[in-house]
Amino acid sequence: MKKSEIMKEILVGLAAVGAVVLIAAAVPSLPIALAGVYKPLRRYKDHQIRRGFAYLKQKKMIGIGQEKGKTIIKLTEAGKSRLVKFQLNDLRIKLPKKWDGKWRMVIFDIPERFKVARQALSAKLRELKFELLQKSVWICPYSCQDEIDFIVAVYEVDPFVRLFTIDSSQLEKYWQKKFNLI
Digit-coded pLDDT (tens) for 11-45: 887 777 666 655 444 455 565 566 666 777 778 88
pLDDT digits (tens, 9 = 90+) for 155-168: 999 999 999 998 86
* pTM as predicted: 0.75
What whole-number distance in Å separates Cα of residue 126 and Cα of residue 158? 18
Between CA 56 and CA 44 the distance in angstroms is: 16
Least confident of 48-57, 65-74, 86-95, 116-125: 65-74
Sign of CA dihedral 10, 11, 12, 14: positive
Domains and CATH numbers, the chain: 3-89 (1.10.10.10), 94-178 (3.30.70.240)
Euclidean distance between CA atoms 58 and 110, whole angstroms: 36
Using DSSP bridges, classify how beta strands 70-75 and 102-108 pair: parallel, antiparallel or unpaired.
Answer: unpaired
Cα 66 to Cα 21: distance, rounded to the nearest angstrom: 9
Q: Which amino acid is at 171?
A: L
In this predicted structure, what is the pLDDT of residue 179? 83
* pLDDT tens per residue across span 82-137: 988 889 999 999 999 998 889 999 999 999 999 999 999 999 999 999 999 999 99
